[in-house]
Structure 1
């Protein structure tokens, strides 16, 4: 099994994050459990025992499912490689006690809750923290895309600063210049071209998840804050950490996000220089994932009645069928999105705004 898993993994050609996850699953769970077995002798009962074993070592159903999916694919390909006649994985029928799937409980994201998160983020890593939260809430960008956002792909420098290194995108480059940017008749926007992930012990750029390169218009208030933020620091990263480095390197989820969402005492966690006050919890996000801000961003667009195609495209999702082939995101659609997001911002009483810069 170990030899087959090494060979099988070496044959894969997947996105970087998937390759990292598969390697971890194989090394930590599948190889140790089947260390002394051959590919051909593993049967249905072994698969059932493996599932039962995973329940004792992994509390998350999604984590167990990820391990079993990798095992299943490896066994399917073992059949194709003629190492066995059939897969030991049972499909298309349910055995044993029915267990209802648990769904993560979400609370509706309000502009006031985002403002509360932004204020806490300001105390943790300064003006970049305040703008980071409002950027995620209004663009729906994935965390790794925000960590990897650099000046050349951010308003007001983009699209004039676009690297334009893909000859197949020449038509888009030309359209971007007359559609987006700073100036009369142009729409402020950021360009999602990449994300940051660890590889070989350091941070590297990779395409966004599912190759979902896209342009995201931003409301006027956010355009002003992004422009001011980039004037205030010299980091290549739009949202630098307290030390000026990348937020991914700062272990954002644990060190930054948890105090921002859950609250913290005055002497707990990192703080922007001069900020040592206690942080109040934001009840809608206490104990919740940062990623739920992205979910909330989509809910806002849905609530405001925007085109399904415009919404899914903004989130970096493929729209299937004829709708996906025939539809396009138009200027009126983008201006409507800018308008409703601006109105949500303006609905927050006593928002920090310019005070984020002292």
Structure 2
């Protein structure tokens, strides 16, 4: 039975301190010297009452050892991160979010002392510094960490608010504009033409491959010759998504696609023809090599010096010796100012939704898994895949047949600052940056 006992004299408070003694689930005696607010017990009755409550929790099988809640966030994060099974890129992202954002704020605090109000206030401060998607990523990692703390009985509840509980307070209406910029087939074509001006047939086809196959930029960079099946034997020419290019321990490596989303994608006839031209234009292993023949780099340099020029245009750079311009002049594509490569993947999904193709076939082309009963009983047929490829071919032909109009273009937009580029990269996905925006002043980011 629980009881209280005198421990020592508190000279500062000029009172005797007490502790409560109680039986733990394993039959041994435990002790507690502070309440849930961290205040010492100054009477025997208060210590005994608290200990009785803990014994009640033991009988109800809801007992949480008070000492567990005194472990610091730093100590718990070190235990927790080693227990989480993550892909290399996600593991690196989790550790960076912890190191640069979460632990500097919460690391020295005891797990039991982190409150929901404090976390909400901190989240609002983060939103003033970083993009919404980046903050969402940070809060997601912290929420999972505290979820596991609750499961491990380190504390009783999760102080990180869920999306539902966050909807209290000032009403916020639906955003007028989606964060993801979507391109039409015509805009994708114009973007490809700018890419052709800088990278020839390789750049032209690269943009169209992302748009009409829905690939991630890392999957494009990791595409090998052997991943293209360009001989049609009745099942369409195909692109096999088997790998992606990622930085692992500072080196480019080939790893499985994100979430293991491998797949076989039927190519529209025009794209199969373009890919044949690309393969004939060089003898490299990679379908879309860099200008030097190596694997394409998709880091901060690619976004700032290549992709943004394709989107925003570029003034011709004259050669100092009077020779032709080193970089051709290009106009900006109107209407897609902030688009990133991942926006073209979203664009293909929108095109197929507008064409009313079966959801199961669209999601399979995106290499998504349909959840629930629909995913169990819905299946994609070859006819569905061929219909999608045929309709994408029609979209291409329609875009190609439109007469050029000056309103489709704008004057070249001014070059952006580096932090702006990194913010756009971070919008590709929660794990898109190898380097956090907090470190972006000195380091470049690499795209997932």
Band of TM-score, shorter chain: 0.7 to 0.9
Pair 1:88–1:111, CA change in 2 (3 A): closer
Structure 1 residue matching 2:119: 3-state secondary structure: helix
Contact preservation (8 Å) 1:155, 1:227: no
Query: Which among 384, 396, 421 is matched to residue 333 of structure 1?
Result: 384
Structure 2 residue matching 1:40: 3-state secondary structure: helix
Q: CA deviation at 1:345?
A: 2.0
Unmatched segments (≥5 aa) in structure 2: 1-72, 319-323, 404-448
Quote the residue 2:136 is aligned against: 65
Structure 1 residue matching 2:385: 3-state secondary structure: helix
Contact preservation (8 Å) 2:360, 2:378: yes
1:277 aligns with 2:328: yes
Q: CA deviation at 1:241?
A: 1.7
Pair 1:12–1:119, CA change in 2 (3 A): same
Query: Which among 273, 283, 290 is matched to residue 234 of structure 1?
Result: 283
Q: CA deviation at 1:239?
A: 0.8
Tell which deviates more after alignment, 309-318 or 39-48. Answer: 39-48
Q: CA deviation at 1:202?
A: 0.8
Pairwise mapping of residues 134-145 of structure 1 onto structure 2 (< 5 A)? Answer: 134-145=208-219
Query: Which among 216, 241, 263 is matched to residue 214 of structure 1?
Result: 263
Structure 2 residue matching 1:75: 3-state secondary structure: helix
Pair 1:230–1:28, CA change in 2 (3 A): same
Per-residue displacement from partner, 1:124-166 (whole Å, max 9, x unpaired)?
222110111111121111111111111111133xxxxxxxxxx
Pairwise mapping of residues 104-183 of structure 1 onto structure 2 (< 5 A)? Answer: 104=178, 109-156=183-230, 182-183=231-232
Give the Cα separation in 2 of the matches to 1:185 and 1:88. Answer: 57
Structure 2 residue matching 1:25: 3-state secondary structure: helix
Q: Which has the higher contact order (CA 8 A, sep 6+)?
A: 1
Q: Compare CA radii of gyration and give the structure with the larger one.
A: 2
Quote the residue 1:42 is aligned against: 114
Q: CA deviation at 1:315?
A: 0.6
Q: CA deviation at 1:230?
A: 0.9
Contact preservation (8 Å) 1:16, 1:206: no
Tell which deviates more after alignment, 99-108 or 38-47. Answer: 99-108
Give the Cα separation in 2 of the matches to 1:150 and 1:209. Answer: 17
Quote the residue 2:304 is aligned against: 254
Pair 1:44–1:107, CA change in 2 (3 A): closer
Quote the residue 2:401 is aligned against: 349
Aligned-pair Cα RMSD in Å? 2.5
Give the Cα separation in 2 of the matches to 1:321 and 1:314. Answer: 19
1:225 aligns with 2:274: yes
Q: TM-score, normalised by structure 2?
A: 0.67
Give the Cα separation in 2 of the matches to 1:65 and 1:183. Answer: 44
Q: CA deviation at 1:108?
A: 5.9
Tell which deviates more after alignment, 209-218 or 94-103. Answer: 94-103
Unmatched segments (≥5 aa) in structure 1: 157-181, 352-358
Quote the residue 1:17 is aligned against: 89
Contact preservation (8 Å) 2:317, 2:326: no
